[in-house]
A and B are shown apart, each in its own frame.
Chain A
Amino acid sequence: MLFDFIQLIRNENMKIYTRVRTWIMLGILVGLVLAIGIIALTMGESPNNWTMMQTESMILFMLVTIFTVVISAESVAGEFTAGTIKLLLIRPWSRSKILLSKYISLLLFALLQAAVLFVFTFAVNAILFGYDGSQAVTQQVLGVNRDIPPLALMLLEYICQIVNLIIVVTMSFMISTVFRSGGLAIGLSLFLLLGGSMITGLLSMLNKAWVDYILFLHMDLTPYISSPTMDIREGVSVSLGFSLGVLAVYYIVFIAVTWYVFKKRDVAA
């Protein structure tokens, strides 16, 4: 049974990785890491390898988010647009399990990108700019007040980014399922993500309690690495537990809506 279910995940993986665009995305990530490093080197700079890794990771994670949105927004909607959803569903599998296999393959894709980014930013910068793994770097170079080695700090930052990525996948997966059109799902997901964090910036200037529960205020957990609380509006700071609680509620709602809609929907594509 489990073995059979793994076959479904293999199928979804096959659909992601036989497409050229997936490899172009991964190629762009790796290429940019190399390019940024080489440009810095040719300009005669000699930055610290951790500073480089941290900056590149921060910038390139935005790209990872966009790629993840594109792939997950297409995941269900693309099957509706192409009409393949019909052949996919008329198999001895419940709709829930078919959907789950898609969701898992998307999480795996998001994790793969994070892993690629981690490995390449780590290795390329260590090779180009030398490796200094001492604990002092964390405070003196990266300016984070924690008694951990820089590698551990990087891992913590990546964990925060991965949490963010999981929310992104889940949200665009929901939009994909609800709207059934690939293009619309991609557009709407990106709009919500980019627009959402901008609008939230404005809203957080309002001194209203409901602002504290807006998703976008809690998607970036990195402030908690150096401080036990995070300021979200004038004079109000919240704890990691609060942020995780808000994220969990949104997560559960996204998942519930996605599965409910997918199970109930008449397929008339």
Chain B
Amino acid sequence: MDRPIPNGSVVQLKNVTKRIGKRTIIDNLSLDLPEAEVFGFLGPNGSGKTTTIRMMVGLMALTDGDVIIRGHSIRTEYEKAIRHVGAIVENPEMYKYMSGYQNLLHFSRMIPGITRQRIDEVVDLVGLKGRINDKVRTYSLGMRQRLGVAQAIMHKPSLLILDEPTNGLDPAGIRELRDYLRKLAKNEGITVFVSSHLLSEMELMCDRVAIIQAGKLIDVQSVRQAGTANDASAVSTVVFEVDQEEGALQLLQGRFGVKRSEGGLTIEADRDTVAAVNAELVQQGIKVYSIRVLSKTLEDQFLEITGGESVV
């Protein structure tokens, strides 16, 4: 029934555009989401994340372009396309006057093939077993978030969309969510599309991040997970902390883009060069107290790309 996935993308956004009145809120946004990845969608408040997500799930009509989910157009084959999507758009709003279980039962009835057993399974998975028969009215935000995740994954979607899921969660909750989403992507092969205006979270959570600003897609960056970046030939920015900065600067003058910076001298070099420079400095009687690689964070990249506009 579902068409094969072209080039491994579960979801393709093709020239997605939204205009309301004369304002262009989303401008010609194209993006491919690969299978089994946690894909971040980063942008300042008001940049159009929620609007994009609303169009992806058919809550808003596209002015132009299309969204293809598992080969089905959200415009022309809505029911087939949305079958593969689980989502929380903005806040995890549930029927407050019903219990958590009744809420899940409600949504399970809308998609054929979800058994009671499956409901129990997801209740277990999100850790709501003890409170599932209480009214949602009595839930904390964190619990509502989990119930939201439960309804979103109940039907085993190929794409899980979460709009700013960390809003209102404490650090422990965020860490828990992060581990959980990574597990879903790796073990179940689900593509997770998660939006946020916080860089720090995106770096921790995602394999790749698309950056949006003022409705335009600016860049897609892959996030380096700790420990994977130590490629021998990769050039990085390295800080040397030395006792005689003046002498060291003269010695290295004109080489490796050396410059003085906070906490010492920085050079651009690969691993072997760093070792050689260290030996040279020591030979000249300059004491080296520490050598540190300045890893370029997503934040630096983001600031570079957006020209320094803050995103907190």
Residues of A within 8 A of B (CB): 4, 7-8, 10-11, 14-15, 18-20, 82-84, 86-87, 89-94, 264, 266-268
Contact = CB atoms under 8 A, between A and B. Distances in A.
Q: What DSSP secondary structure best describes chain B's contact surface?
A: loop
10 shortest interchain CB distances as A-B pairs: A83-B93, A7-B109, A267-B59, A91-B110, A266-B60, A92-B79, A92-B83, A90-B57, A86-B89, A11-B106
B82 A90 contact: yes
B60 A4 contact: no
17 contacts: A7-B109, A8-B109, A11-B110, A14-B102, A14-B105, A15-B98, A18-B98, A82-B93, A83-B91, A84-B94, A84-B95, A87-B93, A87-B151, A90-B85, A92-B80, A93-B110, A266-B59
Nearest to B51: A268
Contacts of A4: 112
B109 A266 contact: no
Given A15-B95, A84-B93, A84-B94, A90 B87 contact: yes
Contact of A19 (B91, B97, B110): B97
Nearest to B61: A266
A20 B107 CA distance: 21
Interface in B85-119: 85, 87-91, 93-98, 102, 105-107, 109-112
A5 to B, nearest CB: 10
A166 B102 CA distance: 29
Given A8-B109, A86-B90, A267-B54, 15 more contacts: A4-B112, A11-B106, A18-B97, A20-B97, A82-B93, A86-B59, A86-B93, A87-B94, A89-B58, A90-B57, A91-B107, A91-B110, A92-B79, A94-B79, A264-B61
Contact of A93 (B79, B85, B98, B151): B79
Contacts of B90: 83, 86
Nearest to A98: B110
B78 interface: yes
Given A14-B98, A14-B106, A91 B60 contact: no
Contacts of B151: 87
A238 B111 CA distance: 50
Contacts of B93: 82-84, 86-87
Contact of A90 (B59, B95, B96, B97): B59
Contacts of A264: 61
Nearest to A7: B109
A19 B91 CA distance: 23
Contact of B110 (A8, A83, A266): A8
A83 B94 CA distance: 8
A266 B98 CA distance: 27
Contact of A87 (B79, B96, B98, B107): B107
A260 to B, nearest CB: 14
A224 to B, nearest CB: 41
A6 to B, nearest CB: 9
A14 to B, nearest CB: 6
Nearest to B93: A83
Contacts of B58: 89-90
Q: Looking at B58, B83, B95, which has the most chain A CB atoms within 10 Å of its CB?
A: B95
B267 to A, nearest CB: 51
Contact of A89 (B59, B96, B105): B59
Contacts of A94: 78-79
A96 to B, nearest CB: 11
Contacts of A83: 90-91, 93
Given A4-B112, A7-B109, A82-B93, A267 B60 contact: yes
B153 to A, nearest CB: 13
Contacts of B82: 90-92
A7 B109 CA distance: 6
A11 B111 CA distance: 12
Contacts of B87: 90
B70 to A, nearest CB: 12
B110 A7 contact: yes
B144 to A, nearest CB: 11
